[in-house]
Chain A
Amino acid sequence: MDHHLFWIASRAAGTAALLLSSAAVGVGLTMGGRLVKGRGIDLRAAHEALSLATLIAIVVHAAALLGDSYLNASALDITVPFASGYKEPWMSIGIVAGWGLVALGISYYFRSRIGVARWKRLHRWTALAWVLGIAHSLGEGTDAGTRWFLVLTAIAVVPALGLLAVRHLPSPSAPTPSRT
Chain B
Amino acid sequence: MSPTMQARRARVRQIRRTVTAVAVTVFIAVFATIYIQMAVGKDPALGSSTNTAQVSQTSTPSSSSDDSSSDTSSSGTMTTAQS
Please give the residue numbers on chain A whose beta carbons come within 8 Å of chain B beta carbons, in ascending order. Answer: 1, 4, 7-9, 11-13, 15-16, 19-20, 41-42, 45-46, 49-50, 53, 56-57, 60, 70-71, 87, 142-143, 145-146, 148
Contacts and interface: CB of A to CB of B under 8 A. Distances in A.
Contacts of A56: 23
B44 A146 contact: yes
Contacts of B39: 1
B50 to A, nearest CB: 15
Given A1-B39, A7-B82, A142-B44, A49 B16 contact: yes
Contacts of A16: 23, 26-27, 30
A50 B45 CA distance: 30
Interface in B1-38: 8, 11-12, 15-16, 19-20, 23, 26-28, 30-31, 33-35, 37-38
A73 B26 CA distance: 26
B34 A11 contact: yes
Interface residues of B, number: 25
B83 A45 contact: no
B19 A13 contact: no
Given A15-B30, A146-B44, A45 B20 contact: no
A58 to B, nearest CB: 12
Given A16-B26, A20-B26, A53 B44 contact: no
Nearest to B16: A49
B35 A8 contact: yes
A146 B42 CA distance: 10
Contacts of A1: 35, 38-39
B38 A53 contact: no
A45 B15 contact: yes
A56 B20 CA distance: 11
Contact of B20 (A8, A53, A71, A87): A53
